[in-house]
Structures are given as C-alpha cells and as structure tokens.
C-alpha cells in the first residue's frame, strides 16, 4: 500500500501549493504529489522530465510533484472528484490511498498519521461555518431531490457538515468519487453553475457548491467515514493536523500590518504558510520572507490588544 497526495491550482495559488508540499516534506512525506493545474507551471518548478500533459519536478529526498495540465471548464473546486478518480485510474491501484488538499492548506503533523487515518475510510474534516447540520435540515431534503434524479438513494443522514478542502480516499472505497461526480451531473439540471465556487445565499442548495455536492455523496454512499472536528483544520483551538487559510486575501497576498490595524490579526494558517515558504521549495527571495515574517509578528502583537468589534 502506498499513500499519495494531490491538489488543484491556478494563478497565484501555485504559492499555496509550494507551501503545502514543503509542509508535507517537513512532516516526512516521501512520494508523489499529483498537482492538476490551469495556466502555466509555477516559476519555482524546474522540470526534471516531461511527457504529453504531465511534467515532473523533483522536490528532493524522494519527493516529487507530477504536474498535470487540465482542460476543463469546471471551477477547480468542482473538478476534485474527477481529478481524484483520474489519478486512481491512471497511476494508482485499489491498494493505494489518495489525499486531496486545497492549495491553501499546510500540514502540521507527521504524514504517517494520514496513512493511519485514511485506511479506516473516507476521511473528512468538519467545517467551521456550521459544522452541525441536523439530519433533518431542509437542505438535506433538497439535496436528496437532486440525488434521486440520477437514481442515487439515501444510505444515511449524518448531522455534520464537512469541509471539502481535505478528502482522503482509500482505493478500495474509490467508488465514492463516482457518486460525487454523479451528484455534480445531477446538480447541473437544478441550476448549479459549475464555473462558480459559491454564493452568499445559504438557503440555496449551492451556497458552498463543492462542499454541498460532497454532502450528497456522503448521504448516498455507504462507504465508511472517519472524521475530525473543526480543529482538524485549525478552525478551532487545539488543532494539530492541518491549517486551512479559508479567508481572503490569502497568506501570500495579505498586508498583515494593514489587516491588523483594521482589527483582523493573523491566524494560524498565516503562520503555517510563512513557516513553509522556504524549504525545500523556495517560494520567495530570503529578504521577502524575512520582511513578511517580521510584519506577521508585529501584526500578531498588535492583534493581542486590538480586534475588530
């Protein structure tokens, strides 16, 4: 059995991908990270080999990134199940496991924990906005209307709501990815815009599009789940697994002093990014990292005495 990581990115999110890979390497990940992308390769990625549509970059020490050029009109958040399915079909076996990470996540714990975790089933982390979503919530009934249109049947009705920034799938349970894809196809006929990420209307079935579709997959699959609370992504205190930078601007684009003066101090995900911005992949010149870390520290100190009302 081998465990692999994957992510999807475009534009400046290559910086988040680099920090993610650095954090994986720092926590003893050795192997292949599959990175689907649109646009150009990151400026820090010097190819070591290239084939049609794929480019390998040697991170060092037995770790590499396999970049895979994508041609899809979907928002990359909606492309997650398709990408993971493709990786299983092209590169992996049912004996392997695959962990998807959004490119604004950094890993805090040993990689072997993920291997131990995912072997138990579909690995998920509760969201922060509303981790508790009752089993009889009206949105769940709306989601099942959509699921039934493609002959998906309800297998369970959990009371938790999961963030799609991390999904771990053992090869023996990879059929859940096809169920996730089926929910995407069904949603198109019910007004889901596959080119957009989210709306501000939580009364809509598609407020957090990719996550809502993941909920349909969980409800209509009998694959066992293994889950962490919001602490699994540093959404709450006591986290030790991952930090997820869900706010905007992202850590690589944030003016920390300006944000702190506005009452928005840095959080753990900001620190996680800059702690992983230098090695083994250097994302910025050393002087830039030093200045940004100093600004981060100053903003943290200021944030202890001033918060936005």
For 146-167, how does the pLDDT look when each residue is reduced to its tens digit (9 = 90+)? 999 999 999 999 999 999 999 9
**Does residue 80 sit within a domain?**
yes
**Whole-angstrom distance, CA of residue 285 vs CA of residue 8:** 24
pTM over 0.75: yes
Q: Are 210 and 260 contained in the same domain?
A: no
**Whole-angstrom distance, CA of residue 200 vs CA of residue 33:** 33
Whether the per-residue pLDDT at 51 is higher than 90: the answer is no
Give pLDDT, residue 307. Answer: 62
**Does residue 241 sit within a domain?**
no
**pLDDT tens readout for residues 83-110:** 999 999 999 999 999 999 999 999 999 9
CA 230 to chain centre: 14
Domain that holds residue 129: 3-233
More reliable by pLDDT, 49 or 180: 180
Share the mean pLDDT of the chain: 93
Provide the β-strand partners of residue 54: 51, 68
Confidence label for 308 from pLDDT (cuts 50, 70 and 90): low
Whether the per-residue pLDDT at 173 is higher than 70: the answer is yes
- The residue out of 233, 261, 295 marking a domain boundary is 233
Give pLDDT, residue 208. Answer: 75
Number of folded domains that form the chain: 2
Confidence label for 282 from pLDDT (cuts 50, 70 and 90): very high
Give pLDDT, residue 187. Answer: 86
For residues 166-177, average pLDDT: 98
Residue 192: which of 75, 85, 70 has the closest Cα?
Answer: 75
The DSSP secondary structure of the chain, one letter per residue, reads --EEEEEEEETTHHHHHHHHHHHHHHTT--SEEEEEEESSPPTT---SEEETTEEEEEEETTEEEEEEE---SS-TTTTHHHHHHHHHHHT--TT-EEEEE-TTEEE-S-HHHHHHHHTTSEEEEE-SS-SB--TT-HHHHHHHHHHHTTT-------SB-EEEEEEEEEGGGTHHHHHHHHHHHHHHTTT--TT--B-S-TTSTTTBHHHHHHHHHHHT----EEEE-GGGGTSSTT--SEEE--SSS-TTT--HHHHHHTT----HHHHHHHHTSSSSS--S-HHHHHHHHHHHHHHHHHHTT----
Q: Are 180 and 298 contained in the same domain?
A: no
**Whole-angstrom distance, CA of residue 211 vs CA of residue 152:** 17
Whether the per-residue pLDDT at 309 is higher than 70: the answer is no
Q: Are 166 and 121 contained in the same domain?
A: yes
Q: Are 187 and 225 contained in the same domain?
A: yes
Q: Are 94 and 195 contained in the same domain?
A: yes
For residues 200-208, average pLDDT: 80
Whether the per-residue pLDDT at 225 is higher than 90: the answer is yes
**Does residue 242 sit within a domain?**
no
Whether the per-residue pLDDT at 252 is higher than 90: the answer is yes
CATH assignment at residue 33: 3.90.550.10
**Does residue 239 sit within a domain?**
no
Q: Are 73 and 137 contained in the same domain?
A: yes
Whether the per-residue pLDDT at 26 is higher than 60: the answer is yes
Q: Are 220 and 257 contained in the same domain?
A: no
- The residue out of 210, 233, 256 marking a domain boundary is 233
8 Å CB contact between 118 and 111:
no
**Does residue 79 sit within a domain?**
yes
Q: Are 138 and 256 contained in the same domain?
A: no
Give pLDDT, residue 306. Answer: 65
Q: Are 228 and 252 contained in the same domain?
A: no
**Does residue 125 sit within a domain?**
yes
Q: Are 12 and 134 contained in the same domain?
A: yes
**Does residue 271 sit within a domain?**
yes
**Whole-angstrom distance, CA of residue 206 vs CA of residue 213:** 8
For residues 5-24, average pLDDT: 98
Give pLDDT, residue 203. Answer: 87
Residues 6+ apart with CB under 8 A from 287: none
More reliable by pLDDT, 131 or 303: 131
Q: Are 141 and 266 contained in the same domain?
A: no
Q: Are 191 and 276 contained in the same domain?
A: no
**Does residue 309 sit within a domain?**
no
**Whole-angstrom distance, CA of residue 83 vs CA of residue 104:** 18
């Amino acid at each position: 059995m081998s465990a692999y990581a994957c992510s999807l990115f475009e534009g400046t999110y290559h910086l988040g991908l680099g920090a993610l890979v650095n954090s994986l390497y720092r926590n003893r990940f050795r192997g292949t990270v599959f990175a689907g992308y649109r646009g150009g390769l990151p400026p820090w990625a010097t190819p070591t080999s290239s084939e049609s549509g794929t480019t390998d970059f040697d991170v060092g020490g037995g770790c590499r990134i396999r970049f895979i050029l994508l041609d899809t009109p979907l928002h990359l958040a909606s492309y997650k199940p398709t990408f993971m399915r493709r990786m299983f079909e092209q590169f992996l076996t049912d004996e392997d496991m695959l962990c998807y990470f959004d490119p604004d996540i950094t890993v805090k714990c040993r990689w072997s924990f993920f291997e131990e975790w995912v072997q138990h089933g579909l690995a998920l982390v509760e969201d922060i906005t509303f981790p508790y979503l009752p089993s009889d919530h009206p949105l769940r009934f709306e989601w099942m209307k959509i699921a039934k249109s493609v002959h998906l049947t309800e297998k369970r009705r959990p009371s938790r709501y999961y963030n799609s920034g991390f999904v771990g799938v053992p090869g023996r349970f990879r059929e859940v990815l096809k169920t996730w894809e089926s929910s995407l196809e069904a949603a198109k006929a019910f007004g889901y815009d596959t080119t957009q990420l989210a709306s501000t209307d939580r009364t809509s079935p598609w407020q957090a599009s990719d996550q809502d579709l993941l909920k349909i997959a969980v409800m209509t699959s009998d694959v066992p789940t293994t889950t962490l609370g919001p602490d699994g992504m540093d959404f709450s205190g006591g986290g030790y697994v991952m930090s997820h930078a869900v706010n905007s601007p992202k850590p690589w684009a944030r003016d920390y002093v300006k944000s702190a003066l506005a009452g928005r101090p840095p959080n753990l995900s900001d620190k996680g990014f800059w702690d992983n911005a230098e090695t083994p992949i250097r994302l910025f010149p050393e002087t830039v990292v030093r200045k940004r870390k100093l600004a981060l520290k100053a903003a943290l100190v200021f944030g202890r005495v001033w918060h936005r009302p």
